[in-house]
Amino acid sequence: MRTKRSFAIENVADFKKKLLKWGNTFPEIVWLDSNLDSSENSEFEAVLAVEAFTAIKTDYHHAFDKLKEYQQTTKDWIFGYLSYDLKNDVERLKSSNYDGLQFPDLYFFQPQKLVFLKEHTAEFVYLKMVDDEIDADYEQILNTALHTEIAHEQIDIQSRISKEDYLKKVDAMLEHIHRGDIYEANLCQEFFAEHVELNAFSIYQSLNEISTPPFAAFLRLENINLVSASPERYLRKKGDQLLTQPIKGTARRSANPREDREIAMKLARDPKEISENVMIVDLVRNDLSRIAEKGSVKVDELCKVYSFKQVHQMISTVTATIANGIEPVEALRTSFPMGSMTGAPKISAMKIIEELESTKRGLYSGAVGYFSPAGDFDFNVVIRSILYNSNTKYLSFSVGGAITAKSNPQMEYEECLLKSKALREVLENL
């Protein structure tokens, strides 16, 4: 049984900074921040989950069954991540590429302390608390000093593959498309650094400040560190309603307002980007139809351009009513991995991705989020993210894009560089 207590917050921005700084003192932390996204689909402005009471971590073998048992046993709030390589639990696939991070494929924990921020209110939701613990923590948060931290030493970021090799891999992907093996597939490449001393918390603060995405996340579980500036929602369940918002289509921003509008309009009319988005929407509709009430799967928005600080993105919104008897974890299992990070047909695309990519994706292009006690959930897509193993001192970030019959290898490479811009900026600019 959890104890709840709410406090009115006048300066939300200042309180958020103090709350996150206080949360960073705990060994286990998940911080999810909508960055004041005004969308009606945002459940809260931010949530902090800290201090594990129970936890589950595992490789991909029977991972979704284990997660289902854990979610149904706790019947409580649980926070954590699903790695891309859980595809091997869903289908008869494998992941044999190089893995510099060596994270578990799935990790969730039941937090003792939760703080939700919404509409100038901080709601503290505690498990097994001692007398006056919420009041004492609230006072400690208010008195938290916000001094600047030194982020890290100089980092030598390297590409796992050369530009020439990347272009060859796009050509190979195009050959698969022209043969009819697939229609579209997401091809990614890794950038990495070794022997890095990194303050992941400070990096998160810097990245979030220059990006302010609607699905930002900071996660630390043991040696696992995630700094995410994700603009993309994977899947949300609220009651019997499912919602997913795949992204396909990216364009740069411009400091010149007129040019910026023209770039956004060009993206909205780009036949290649529209084709990418529509193919993934069809894939997502097919995934959801397997667990939805008949006739309930709908496309609420198709290929709408949204503007973020770093890039313009083409986003579609698909909704459905989950069928009676479908457990929450089954909704994730059926639709995982997300179509925007795989391709169509999905299984063929994942096989070809494994063949052409040089690195195991792991948490990149997986998902971070939570389950509520009622079985609702919300997960982002782990893109525009930095991953760091604090034990081995290995740092990694990956970027990629959808390859279709209309893809130009050079332009695909430039899109990768565009998507990596903010990540490089916070790592290289001391």
User: Which domains does the chain possess?
Assistant: 2-428 (3.60.120.10)
Whole-number mean pLDDT of the chain?
A: 95
pLDDT at 152: 62
Beta bridge partners of 37: none
Q: Say which DSSP state 103 is in.
A: -
pLDDT at residue 167 in the model? 97
* 262 carries an active-site annotation: no
> Which one of 16, 57, 248, 346 is the catalytic residue?
248
pLDDT for res 40: 65
List pLDDT tens digits, range 58-89.
999 999 999 999 999 999 999 999 999 999 99
Answer whether 366's CB lies under 8 Å from 108's CB. Answer: no
| Bridge partners for 292 per DSSP | 322
- How far apart, in whole angstroms, are the C-alpha atoms of residue 396 and residue 426? 13
Residue 377 φ then ψ, to 5°: -155, 165
Among 193, 206, 228, which residue's Cα sits nearest to residue 430? 206
Bridge partners (DSSP) of residue 82 are 106, 367
Whether 248 is catalytic: yes
Alpha helices in 336-375 (DSSP H): 346-356
Count the neighbouring beta carbons within 10 Å of the beta carbon of residue 265: 13
Q: Determine the Cα–Cα distance for residues 32 and 81; give it in Å rounded to an integer.
A: 12
Question: How many other CB atoms are found less than 10 A from the CB of residue 239?
Answer: 10
Nearest residue to 67 (alpha-carbon basis) of 98, 105, 28, 103? 105
User: Which of 28, 422, 426, 20 lies closest to 250 in space, CA to CA?
Assistant: 422
Assign 153 a pLDDT band (cuts: 50, 70, 90).
Answer: confident
For residue 36, the model assigns a pLDDT of 78
Alpha helix stretches (DSSP H) within 245-361 = 257-269, 271-289, 328-335, 346-356
Per-residue pLDDT reduced to its tens digit, 376-394:
999 999 999 999 999 999 9
- Cα–Cα distance, 395 to 398 (Å, whole number): 11
Q: How far is CA 387 from CA 28, 107, 188, 211, 404, in A?
A: 16, 15, 15, 17, 28
DSSP state of 85: G
**Six-digit token pair at 121?**
């209110």
List % helix, strand, coil for the chain (3-state, nearest 5): 35, 35, 30
pLDDT of 150: 58
pLDDT tens across 325-337, in order?
999 999 999 999 9
Kindly report whether the global pTM for this prediction surpasses the value 0.85: yes
Cα–Cα distance, 418 to 152 (Å, whole number): 23
| Residue 149, pLDDT above cutoff 80 | no
pLDDT tens column, 107-117 = 999 999 999 99
Question: What's the rounded mean pLDDT across residues 254-261?
Answer: 96
**Number of residues that make up the chain:** 430
Q: What is the pLDDT of residue 147?
A: 76
Rounded average pLDDT over 190-205: 95
Tokens matching residue 152: 């890290």
